[in-house]
Amino acid sequence: MSSPAAREGLGVDALVSFDCWNTLLSDVDPTRARARQIDAVVAAAGPGLDRDTAGEALDLALAGHTRAWQAGRHHGLGRIVDDLLARLRLDPASREPLAAALAHVEPDDVRLAPGARQTLTALRRAGYRLGLVCDTGVRPGTTVRRLLAGHGVLDLLDALAFSDEVGVPKPDRRMFDAVLAPLGAAPERSAHVGDLVATDVAGARAAGMRAVLFTGLTPAPDPTGAPDLVVDDLTDLPDALESL
């Protein structure tokens, strides 16, 4: 059910922003992605580091990132790499090559959500401005831009905000302001679409936007948090926004 504010409706010149992972993009094979990251750690360490030790160190470094993210602090690739260097006592000279190897992913290893291109195109044709509000970890904003371009949707987005560039993760409203302000979009007449209540729904609320929970790619979406709208198929979004 829409909130009273939502019943005023969105303007067709408003912003509709999207989360990235498990909303517009997802890994084709997460197990393969992790194996490649372990390969990068082993390569940076040189002979003598076994894959089990590398994997354990990587898991601990990523867990540190997750704790910071859940606490509302940006952590990101640089600190993940620094954690690995310290845990494995790696040569500091390996920092930049390791960071580049961890961040790298081919477009074919990431899939575009079903209906994403069709939905973004339909929204643009309807007059909406479009944005991306993306928390980053191992894959920084530069990598995500390349992936979006590889799937032919980067040019459909008018403004992009990445936590490694803004300096804070969602639900901090500064992430949402980073796409609203450049487009002059009024938050109360704009909406954000994402799969997580704690970051996407809560962040949209903090920014004064409408919150749309997308459940199409997240295995067990959190049903709480009172979003203004829930969709499980992105192609339903253009029509569904008319109810806000």
DSSP H/E element including 167:
none
Bridge partners for 17 per DSSP: 131, 192
Question: Could you tell me if 137 and 76 are in contact, meaning their C-beta atoms sit under 8 angstroms apart?
Answer: yes
At 179, phi and psi to the nearest 5? -105, -30
Q: Which pLDDT score, from 0 to 100, does residue 2 have?
A: 35
Percent with pLDDT over 90 in the chain:
86
Q: Residue 227 — pLDDT band, cuts 50, 70, 90?
A: very high
Q: Judge contact between 193 and 19, C-beta under 8 A.
A: yes
Return the C-alpha torsion angle 121, 184, 69, 219, nearest 10. -30
Query: Whole-model pTM?
Result: 0.91
| Spatial separation of the C-alpha atoms in residues 83 and 112, rounded to whole Å | 31
Question: What is the pLDDT at residue 106?
Answer: 85
For the chain, list the strands marked E by DSSP: 15-18, 25-27, 110-112, 129-134, 159-162, 191-194, 210-214, 229-231
The whole-angstrom separation of Cα 30 and Cα 77 is 18
User: How do residues 73-118 score in pLDDT, each as one tens digit?
Assistant: 999 999 999 999 999 999 999 999 999 999 999 888 999 999 999 9
Give the pLDDT confidence of 26-69 residue by residue, as tens digits. Answer: 999 999 999 999 999 999 988 889 999 999 999 999 999 999 99
